[in-house]
Every structure is written in C-alpha cells, then in structure tokens.
Amino acid sequence: STAAPLAGAAADTHCPYCALQCAMTLTPPLTLDLTPEKAALPTVGPRDFPTNRGGLCQKGWTSASVLGAADRLTTPLIRSAAGELAPATWDEALDLIATRLLALQDEHGQDCVGVFGGGGLTNEKAYTLGKFARVALGTPFIDYNGRFCMSSAAAGANRAFGLDRGLPFPLADLGGAQAILLLGSNPSETMPPFVQHLAGARSRGGLVVVDPRHSPTAALTDDGGGLHLQPLPGTDIVVLLGLLHLVWATGRADTPYLAERVTGAEDVRASVSEWWPERVERVTGVPADDLRRAAEILAAAAPLASGSGAYVLTGRGVEQHAHGTDTVTAAINLALALGLPGRVGSGYGCLTGQGNGQGGREHGQKADQLPGYRSISDPAARAHVAAVWSVDPDTLPGPGVPAMQLLGRLGEPGGIRALLVHGSNLVVSAPGAVQVTERLRALDLLVVCDFVPSETALLADVVLPVTQWAEEEGTMTSLEGRVIRRRKVIDPPPGVRSELDVWAALAGRLGAPARFETDPALVMDELARASAGGIADYGGVSHERLDRGDEIHWPCPDPAHPGTPRALLDRFATPDGRARMLPVEPRGVDDELRSDAPYYAITGRVLQHYQSGAQTRRVRELVAGEPRAFVQLHPRTAATLGIEEGQDVTLTSARGSCTAPARLSREIRPESVFVPFHFPGAERANALTNPATDPVSGMPEFKVTAVSIRAAQGD
C-alpha cells in the first residue's frame, strides 16, 4: 500500500462524510508545530475533481477537527461489575469478546450473534466485515445502516434494470441537462458542491423539485429556475403517477424506445390512466396546472428518440417510506416512459447519502448478499466466494434478515444475544430509537468499535477504539460508482487499531478457518477476486491502479479494463436486456394521522451536520452554526397551538417524544413539521419515527410520522 506522505507533504484524498466524496488535499502537521490548537491536526485544502470541482462544504473544510476530537477513544473499555466502562488492554478486551461469543454460541447456537455494519466503512472494511460474520462467526445475521439509507432505491433499480449503481452515469453529465426532476433531496444543505451540477437545468428553467418543504434546494426553482411541487408528505408516488399519466395522455411517451428496450409499458400505461391532474391535486395538494407544467418541462427536454437532456433523480425523501420501493419504481417508470435510462445525456439515478453508501452495499454487508452483489442463496455465487476464502461453501450461512428485523431479534427468546456494531450509532439513528435502545440494553454482549464515545458506544459492554479516515489507507465508492482512494495522512493516536486488525485478531481467537488480511491493499486484491464476475465487478480494481491515477467506475472486470463510467448503454442488466416497468399504486402511509396525532413529522438533515452527528457534533464551527435540534413549523400552525418562535415544543408519536425549540417558517406545509435527526437525548428525532418497513427493501418509514405538538414550557 501507499506509504504515508512525508510530514508537510499534501496528500490527495477525499472528505470523510457524504457520498459526494469531495476531493481535497490534506497536509499533515509539521512535527515542530506543537501549539495545542494545531498539534496533530492536518490542514484541508481544495482539490479539483469532476464531482466537486474544488468545492467543499463547511463539513469538509472542518473535517480535520474530528481527528483531534477532545474525547477521542484511545484505549479499549470494558464495563466493570459496577457498571462503569473502565480502561483495559487490547488483549483483555479481545480475549473477553472471543470468550463470551464462543460461550454464547456454544449455549444458544451460532445464530445468537449479530453484526451491524455501516455505509461509512471503506470498501476493504465492508468486505472484511461480511466475511468475518459468515466465516469467523458463522452467523447469517449481518446487515448495516445502509438499509436505512438507499435500500429502496437499490431495490427499485434492481427490479427495473437488474443493476443498482446510484448514478449509472458520471455526475458531471448532469451539467448538460435541459431538465432535472429532483425528488426528495436537498443537496443545497446535504452536499452543497453538488448544486453546481444543477445550474444548467436551472438556467433553462428546467429544475423541478418535489419536496413537502420549500427547502433551500426547492428555492433554486424560484425566479425562473423551474418549478417546486410541494405535495402532502407520503404522496410523492401520486405526483409521479400523475406525471406518467400526462406523458402518455399528451403523446410524449418515447414509443420506439419503449418497444425496443422496455417490457411492461402497456401495463403501466393502463395503471395510470385515471390519474388525471385534478385527481392528483385532490390527493397531494399539488395544483393541477403545476403538474401539467412539470410534465411539459420534462417532456420537452426529452424529445422523442433523441434521448437527451432530462434526468430523474431520487433521494431519501421519497425513498424512506414503508412503500419507498414502489415510489422509486414510479420514478423509474417515468424515466423509462420518457426514454431516458441507458442513453448518453439522460437517465435515472439515486443520490446516495453515506460516504460509502454505494460500496458499502456491494461487498457483503447486506443480509442477502456476498461480494460482487452476488446472492448468498445462489449456489454458484457461494462456491465462487467460498473458493476465494478457502472455505467449504456448505459452511457458509444462508441469508439473514434486513436491519430492522435484525434489531427486532435483539434480546428475544431464541434471538440475538450478542451484537457487534461497526460504523453505526443506532441509539440516535435507528427508527423507534427508544425501543431499539432498550433492545441493545437487553443484550448479553454489546461490542462497539468507534473512534469517539458515541451514544451507542456508551451502552456497550466492550468498546474498541479504532482508526478513522485520514489515519488509514482504503477506498470508497462514490455516488457515481467511482472507486476512489482514501489515504493515510497521519498516524492514529497510540492505542488505536484498524478494524481490519480487530477482525483478524478476533478471527484467530475464534478459530476461524480462513485467513483475514490486515493490509488494505491486499484486502482490495482479495475483494477483486471475490467480486470478479459479479454484478458489482471490481476484478480489475487495485490500489496500485488507483494510485497511478486511473479513474475506475465499476464494473471493471480485469486490470486492462478502463471501467464503465456509463453503464446500461447497450442493454440493461436483465436476462433479456430490457428494462422492466412495473405497475405500482399508492398504499398510503403506515402512520396515519389520528385525532391525538394530527400532524406529520418529517426528519432530515441540516447544512452543518451529518448522520447521527457523532462526528459533526464534535466540531466547534459546526456546533456554533447549528448547536441543537429545532422544530420547523408553519406560523399558522404555531398560532393555532399558541406556540412562539424559540419556545420549546414537544412532539409525541406512538413511540416516543422529542423536544426542541420552535422555528417558524413558511417553507413547510401547515400540517407538517420538520426535525433534524442529528441530535441525541431529548432532541432525538428518531424517538418519534416509525420502524414499519418496506416489504421489498426493508427500508423503515422515517419520513412520515404522525405526531402531536404541544408547548413544552412548564413541563
């Protein structure tokens, strides 16, 4: 692997946070600089790259601060008999974990152990964690927090195209778009450098944003930029069915394309025949004329048979629902009806959220998959991967269960008694977080690997301090399927180890029958062999190639292959090469409004914070910008409830409560409130959210929760 650069030499790397994976330079501190504020902290600098073009958001500029977090974990911790987490040696901690796991599995069977991974782990770690669960622990119960993130988009893309790559085209292609339909995404706050790629469509009046909030991204459509459709939460699918209806009703469907490259179009056409605009308006609140205008913008940008100029993009806002896969399918149906996917200059894509949201789901962290996006139920796939691992395929467990089902098994009779958590902060980020926290407490053994004492780590029986982004080598796969290098710039603090070392050490103690590499470059070589021939084929990817400057979008089947920036151009990845349209219909939301919970709570992100906030809540500048949660509500709603700006309000759902100051805004619909999900304790938005899941993807219903609202003053 690449050696750490000399002190003072800038290294090319990428931001530790979101899926845009903005390029940056990171300059290690001069060893003579011993001022307390600067000691051991690298300096972030801009770097040109096709996705961010030198731009970074506030999170990226301040990302080095996380390396120097004041409460950085530097020694293993074991919970004492008195209930306190106390320092221990690595041998004591690893011996204890292995002994307890073996004893539990001896008494309750191998399936009593679960593993919960993360979409922020490098490709090398995501791959090794899947192998560790199947080979060293012998358990089927592994899943990860990506199930809470992109799973509905992945399921929708798989069933339509036979391939799930967030954007199956280079992100920079968006700049040439005549029109972009952006559903349930707010990149102005979540990934600001992305917004420059919307400029072309916006300058042509072609940006159409679907969001229940007039978010900063929706505001880009003001003043001639395009159009904002503001539907009732949970009705996005109806907007899409209405657009589909209009595309066909106005003769704008790409009939030759549908005949040549798509199956199922007639069934979908029939299924949307009665979704005329006035009916859509009654269900969604979106004015019929706005719907007609949106359909015209999209259709005009996708002229028949030319296949140019329009994109349909989805984000978490439309995906994180108990029927999110169907909404994604409706979005894909619309893109197919217009003839967009599989052509240069147009398409459908999902804006992946987590840093390695794409790679994290390709290498075996998912309950039903082996590396290369292979099905764990496929005998040929099992044989291929088992050969790479030098194990008997019959010893590999079968499929596990999606994340919420896995969490539902914690502490249950015959369920999971020990859980290993990597790269996830479930106490803050899981839906129904109060109940999930209780389940974590009920375990016989909870092990958490983290670099800071996250809320979940503080519940653990054993905490292992691990390296973070700039302290280790590795790769990530960005939202456009591009494999990128993350480089080691500084040494980790003494006492800290990589998870690759942790899993190898535990595998040895557990008597695992396979070897576990600890050098990330060697892990990538093994990953390449394991994924070769699969859908997400990394067969030709290596650190050495990436360090030479090669830009590799998967699939990349061999070392001579240039990679595939634009996938699906010749044929879709289905058995007959044609995309599949599937009729879908609205099924409502799981958490209906009730007399005692008459408002919808929507959760989401703010500019300054990322995920559960475990990292960004430790950065002074970001905390100064957004120190705590808030409840955004419409002034009319506030007046009805007698709530004033800044007053603490309590939201209560069927599962829990969340209290934060009111922030009055006309950006939100009167029946809805918005709460950011980055904060713990009484401000924990996921205490409210609904663990009901999508039957196809396993995605929970994060985005629509029935709540009551009351002033918290005097509580």
Instruction: Enumerate binding residues for ligand SF4 (CB under 6 A).
Output: 15, 17-18, 20-22, 52, 56-57, 59-60, 191-193
Structure tokens that stand for 377 in this block: 């139920």
**Alpha-carbon distance 482 to 552, whole Å?**
6
> In the complex, what is the shortest distance from the CB of residue 608 to ligand SF4, in angstroms, rounded to a whole number?
10
Which of residues 62 and 697 has its CB atom nearest to ligand SF4 in the complex? 62
**Alpha-carbon distance 129 to 139, whole Å?**
12
> In the complex, what is the shortest distance from the CB of residue 192 to ligand SF4, in angstroms, rounded to a whole number?
6
Report the sign of the C-alpha dihedral through residues 389, 391, 394, 396, in that order: negative
> In the complex, what is the shortest distance from the CB of residue 17 to ligand SF4, in angstroms, rounded to a whole number?
4
Q: How far is CA 123 from the centre of its chain?
A: 14
DSSP state of 344: T
Which of residues 20 and 606 has its CB atom nearest to ligand SF4 in the complex? 20
**Alpha-carbon distance 234 to 275, whole Å?**
16
Which of residues 51 and 693 has its CB atom nearest to ligand SF4 in the complex? 51
> In the complex, what is the shortest distance from the CB of residue 186 to ligand SF4, in angstroms, rounded to a whole number?
12
Structure tokens that stand for 397 in this block: 């467990």
Structure tokens that stand for 674 in this block: 């918005």
Which of residues 542 and 611 has its CB atom nearest to ligand SF4 in the complex? 611
Which of residues 184 and 192 has its CB atom nearest to ligand SF4 in the complex? 192
Which of residues 476 and 712 has its CB atom nearest to ligand SF4 in the complex? 476
Buried b (16+ CB within 10 A) or exposed e, 433-472: bebbbebbeebbbbbbbbbbbbbbbebbbbbbbbbbbbbb
Question: HEC string of 585-650?
Answer: CCCCCCCCCECCECEEEEEECCCCCCCCCCCHHHCHHHHHHCCCCCEEECHHHHHHHCCCCCCEEE
For residue 632, list its beta bridge partners.
663, 674
**Alpha-carbon distance 391 to 352, whole Å?**
34
- Cα→Cα distances 343→18, 171, 207, 336, 410, Å: 27, 14, 20, 11, 46
> In the complex, what is the shortest distance from the CB of residue 118 to ligand SF4, in angstroms, rounded to a whole number?
16
Q: Using CB atoms, what's the residue nearest to ligand SF4?
A: 60
> In the complex, what is the shortest distance from the CB of residue 567 to ligand SF4, in angstroms, rounded to a whole number?
23
Which of residues 186 and 230 has its CB atom nearest to ligand SF4 in the complex? 186
**Alpha-carbon distance 572 to 332, whole Å?**
13
Which of residues 19 and 524 has its CB atom nearest to ligand SF4 in the complex? 19
**Alpha-carbon distance 411 to 430, whole Å?**
17
Which of residues 47 and 343 has its CB atom nearest to ligand SF4 in the complex? 47
Which of residues 60 and 226 has its CB atom nearest to ligand SF4 in the complex? 60
> In the complex, what is the shortest distance from the CB of residue 310 to ligand SF4, in angstroms, rounded to a whole number?
24
Which of residues 17 and 503 has its CB atom nearest to ligand SF4 in the complex? 17
Which of residues 18 and 581 has its CB atom nearest to ligand SF4 in the complex? 18
> In the complex, what is the shortest distance from the CB of residue 92 to ligand SF4, in angstroms, rounded to a whole number?
37
Which of residues 160 and 180 has its CB atom nearest to ligand SF4 in the complex? 180
Which of residues 16 and 264 has its CB atom nearest to ligand SF4 in the complex? 16
Question: HEC string of 113-146?
Answer: EEEEECCCCCHHHHHHHHHHHHHHHCCCCEEEHH
> In the complex, what is the shortest distance from the CB of residue 67 to ligand SF4, in angstroms, rounded to a whole number?
15
**Alpha-carbon distance 32 to 30, whole Å?**
5
CB 236 within 8 A of CB 216: no
> In the complex, what is the shortest distance from the CB of residue 20 to ligand SF4, in angstroms, rounded to a whole number?
4
Q: Is 419 left (phi over 0), alpha (psi -120 to 50) or beta?
A: beta
Which of residues 52 and 145 has its CB atom nearest to ligand SF4 in the complex? 52
> In the complex, what is the shortest distance from the CB of residue 565 to ligand SF4, in angstroms, rounded to a whole number?
20
Structure tokens that stand for 414 in this block: 């015959």
**Alpha-carbon distance 121 to 530, whole Å?**
18
Of 559, 424, 448, 508, nearest to 147 (Cα)? 424
User: Within 13 Å, how many C-alpha atoms sit on residue 632's CB side?
Assistant: 19
> In the complex, what is the shortest distance from the CB of residue 418 to ligand SF4, in angstroms, rounded to a whole number?
34
Which of residues 52 and 637 has its CB atom nearest to ligand SF4 in the complex? 52
**Alpha-carbon distance 586 to 329, whole Å?**
12
For residue 446, list its beta bridge partners.
419
- Under 8 Å CB-to-CB from 234, ≥6 apart: which residues? 321, 588, 589, 600, 703, 704
Structure tokens that stand for 627 in this block: 């120190």
Which of residues 52 and 186 has its CB atom nearest to ligand SF4 in the complex? 52
**Alpha-carbon distance 230 to 608, whole Å?**
24
> In the complex, what is the shortest distance from the CB of residue 56 to ligand SF4, in angstroms, rounded to a whole number?
4
> In the complex, what is the shortest distance from the CB of residue 191 to ligand SF4, in angstroms, rounded to a whole number?
4
> In the complex, what is the shortest distance from the CB of residue 452 to ligand SF4, in angstroms, rounded to a whole number?
18
> In the complex, what is the shortest distance from the CB of residue 65 to ligand SF4, in angstroms, rounded to a whole number?
13
Q: How far is CA 284 from the centre of its chain?
A: 27
- Cα→Cα distances 628→57, 142, 662, 682, Å: 19, 33, 11, 11
- Kind and range of the H or E run holding 426: helix 426-429
**Alpha-carbon distance 301 to 172, whole Å?**
18
> In the complex, what is the shortest distance from the CB of residue 53 to ligand SF4, in angstroms, rounded to a whole number?
11
